[in-house]
């Protein structure tokens, strides 16, 4: 089928959505929004990738816009101040490049290069200003984006973000070893690890600078808020698994919900696609319930005081952007060249990566 996505390209086009990936509920009940800063965002993130040498100039020229990394963030963090959205978009673009480096280190069997990078990222996360001019562009780019993210909210938020991303780095290390050793995690282990490799907590943390306020622990840990946040992230991770299934099978991946289901539950390929799709659809319907409860919670916070009014508004902004994540993720997977495996010369080697990335050759 085809669906009009209100594409962010100059001329909106019909984006083909295969029936197995089509979610009519998203298309009907989750209208797509786009931050008005998006055109500048795309231009500046493209320039940032060049400035920080995170992608070769020819790759940036040919692929950066088509990968739609800025579209994804501009569809999620609606209402964020322009400088906050720019920092988030650059960090997100860095994250994708890091993911590609991690993949190439695995494919080319470069454990020493990965260990070195892993250690440097841990250190740079705690002292980014000291790594702004590091020789490895991936470390310097990370330090630059993190320094900017740390400038918006108090140190308590920065410490939480760092704690959450340290865990992401370690999860990537676990994935590295799983893939090198051909270890396919059980479904339960995979779901736990996926919450870290997808960085559920990070994208949820970034809702707060977008809303202009660090939320108190009592709000972030409230069951209604936590459930809505988790469902938005689970949807994204599992829909990503559904869409990237062909790419990851071609690349001898071991980290995909579908691959774990086939290996450990004995499902056929057809049964696996049906099961992953069921989980994705359940996230959507369950979110609609959680969203109502989270907004009711926001109403209770509006107790007539200035603080209560501001806090309730921030919670509503965060919950609204949790909703935006569904449509942004959905259309990203059908617009981005990151998932067009059938158009690649080599289905196991994305054309937008530097296949001779820094590290052991």
What pTM did the predictor assign?
0.93
Q: Do 256 and 321 fall into the same domain? A: yes
Q: Tens digits of per-residue pLDDT, 285-337? A: 999 999 999 999 999 999 999 999 999 999 999 999 999 999 999 999 999 98
Average of pLDDT values for 137-146? 98
Q: Do 112 and 190 fall into the same domain? A: no
Q: What whole-number percentage of the chain has pLDDT above 90? A: 82
- The answer to whether residue 356 is domain-embedded is no
Q: Do 279 and 202 fall into the same domain? A: yes
Pairwise CA distance, residues 150 & 44, whole Å? 20
Clarify whether 297 is annotated catalytic. Answer: no
What sign does the dihedral 78-80-83-87 (CA atoms) show? negative
Q: Do 146 and 61 fall into the same domain? A: yes
Instruction: Give the residue from 128, 152, 176 where a domain finishes.
Output: 152
Clarify whether 96 is annotated catalytic. Answer: yes
The domain that contains 257 carries what CATH number?
Answer: 1.10.600.10
Instruction: Give the residue from 104, 127, 152 where a domain finishes.
Output: 152
Catalytic entry in 161, 176, 198, 235: 198
Q: Do 43 and 98 fall into the same domain? A: yes
Instruction: Give the residue from 152, 169, 194 where a domain finishes.
Output: 152
Q: Do 137 and 257 fall into the same domain? A: no
Q: Examine the pLDDT at 3 and tell me if it is beyond 50.
A: no
Q: Do 138 and 90 fall into the same domain? A: yes
What pLDDT score was predicted for residue 338? 84
Residue 356 pLDDT class (50, 70, 90 cuts): low
Q: Tens digits of per-residue pLDDT, 206-241? A: 999 999 999 999 999 999 999 999 999 999 999 999
User: Which residues constitute the domain of residue 196?
Assistant: 185-337
Unique residue bearing structure tokens 């400035």:
51
- The answer to whether residue 26 is domain-embedded is no
- The answer to whether residue 180 is domain-embedded is no
Q: Do 123 and 196 fall into the same domain? A: no
Mean pLDDT, the chain, integer: 91
Catalytic entry in 32, 194, 220, 338: 338
- The answer to whether residue 165 is domain-embedded is no
- What b/e string do you get for 136-167 counting C-beta neighbours within 10 Å, with b at 16 or more? bbbbbbbbbbbbbbbebbeeebbebbbebbee
**One-letter-per-residue 3-state SS of the chain:** CEEECCCCCCCCCEEECCHHHCCHHHHHHCCCCCCCCHHHHHHHHHHHHHHCCCCCHHHHHHHHHHHCHHHHHHCCCCCCCHHHHHHHHHHHHHHHHHHHHHHHHHHCCCHHHHHHHHHHHHHHHHCHHHHCCCCCHHHHHHHHHHHHHCCCCCHHHHHHHHHHHHHHHHHHHHHHHHHHHCCCCCHHHHHHHHHHHCCHHHHHHCHHHHHCCCCCHHHHCCHHHHHHHHHHHHHHHHHHHHHHHHHHHHCCCCCCHHHHHHHHHCCCHHHHHHHHHHHHHHHHHHHHHHHHHHHHHHHHHCCCCHHHHHHHHHHHHHHHHHHHHHHHHHHHHHHCHHHCHHHCCCCCCCCCCCCCCCCCC
Residue 347 pLDDT class (50, 70, 90 cuts): low
Clarify whether 142 is annotated catalytic. Answer: no
Average of pLDDT values for 151-157? 98
- The answer to whether residue 101 is domain-embedded is yes
Look at 28-42, 69-83, 238-252, 280-294 and tell me which has the smallest mean pLDDT.
238-252
Catalytic entry in 95, 142, 176, 287: 95
Q: Do 314 and 210 fall into the same domain? A: yes
Average of pLDDT values for 174-194? 95
Catalytic entry in 30, 32, 96, 110: 96
Tally of domains in the chain: 2
51 HSE (CA, 13 A, CB side): 13
Q: Do 117 and 43 fall into the same domain? A: yes
What pLDDT score was predicted for residue 248? 75
Q: Do 190 and 318 fall into the same domain? A: yes
- The answer to whether residue 48 is domain-embedded is yes
Q: Do 211 and 137 fall into the same domain? A: no
- The answer to whether residue 17 is domain-embedded is no
């Amino acid at each position: 089928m085809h669906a009009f996505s209100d594409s962010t390209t100059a001329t909106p086009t019909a984006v083909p959505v295969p029936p197995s990936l089509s979610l009519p509920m998203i298309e009907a009940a989750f209208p797509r929004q786009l931050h008005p800063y998006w055109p500048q965002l795309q231009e500046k993130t493209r320039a940032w990738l060049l400035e920080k040498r995170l992608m070769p100039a020819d790759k940036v020229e040919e692929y950066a816009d088509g990968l739609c990394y800025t579209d994804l963030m501009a569809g999620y963090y609606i209402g964020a101040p322009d400088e906050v959205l720019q920092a988030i978009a650059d960090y997100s673009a860095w994250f994708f490049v890091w993911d590609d480096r991690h993949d190439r280190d695995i494919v080319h069997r470069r454990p020493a290069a990965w260990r070195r990078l892993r250690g440097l990222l841990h250190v740079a996360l705690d002292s980014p200003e000291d790594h702004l001019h590091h020789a490895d562009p991936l470390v310097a780019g990370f330090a630059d984006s993190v320094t900017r993210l740390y400038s918006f909210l108090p140190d308590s938020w920065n410490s939480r973000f760092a704690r959450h991303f340290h865990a992401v780095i370690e999860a990537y290390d676990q994935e590295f070893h799983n893939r090198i050793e051909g270890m396919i995690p059980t479904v339960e282990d995979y779901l736990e690890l996926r919450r870290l490799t997808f960085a559920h907590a990070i994208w949820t943390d970034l809702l707060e600078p977008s809303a202009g306020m660090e939320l108190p622990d009592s709000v972030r840990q409230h069951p209604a808020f936590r459930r809505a946040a988790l469902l938005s992230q689970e949807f994204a991770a599992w829909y990503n698994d559904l869409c990237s299934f062909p790419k990851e099978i071609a690349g001898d991946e071991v980290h995909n919900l579908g691959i774990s289901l086939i290996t450990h539950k004995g499902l056929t390929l057809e049964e696996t696609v049906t099961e992953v799709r069921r989980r994705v659809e359940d996230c959507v319907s369950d979110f609609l319930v959680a969203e109502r409860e989270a907004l009711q919670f926001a109403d209770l916070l509006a107790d007539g005081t200035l603080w209560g009014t501001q806090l309730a508004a921030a919670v509503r902004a965060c919950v609204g952007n949790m909703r935006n994540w569904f449509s942004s993720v959905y259309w990203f997977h059908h617009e981005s060249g990151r998932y067009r495996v059938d158009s690649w010369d080599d289905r196991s080697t994305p054309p937008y990566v530097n296949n001779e990335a820094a590290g052991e050759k």
